[in-house]
Amino acid sequence: MTKNEAVVNLFLSVMVSDGDVSDSEIAVIEDFIGNLHSFDVNLEASVKKISGLTSDKISTLFDESIVFLKDIPMDEKILLLDKINDIIEADGIIAEGEKNMLMKINSIWNFD
């Protein structure tokens, strides 16, 4: 897994964790990726792929991604966490699964 793949997998895992994919959530991810020239990802195909995964596989992908990214610089973690919050808040609903994901990120990335 590359850093960019881990970031996209992390964002998409959070996005689908509430069982719904909204246009506003996708827009947040598109905006983030669009502002970074180093990201070469087909977001539509990635959304379709992750939407077809079981919740266990999504959870595993999420776990692998946050562990992979745990050693990136703190300023990058803060930026990613800010975008994750934007994704979570984009549909106007903060689901229990999303809260659990934030707690896990905070723990693994040492935001405690």
Backbone angles phi, psi at 51, to 5 degrees: -65, -25
Question: What is d(CA 105, CA 112) in angstroms, rounded to the nearest whole number?
Answer: 10
Residue 30: per-residue pLDDT: 86
For the structural domain made of 3-108, what CATH number should be given?
A: 1.10.3680
Question: What is d(CA 6, CA 4) in angstroms, rounded to the nearest whole number?
Answer: 5
pTM here is: 0.88
Residue 2: per-residue pLDDT: 86
Domain ranges of the chain: 3-108
Question: What is d(CA 76, CA 90) in angstroms, rounded to the nearest whole number?
Answer: 21
In tens digits, the chain (112 residues) has pLDDT values of: 888 889 989 999 999 888 888 889 889 988 888 776 566 777 788 888 888 889 899 999 999 999 999 999 999 999 999 999 999 999 888 889 899 999 999 999 988 6
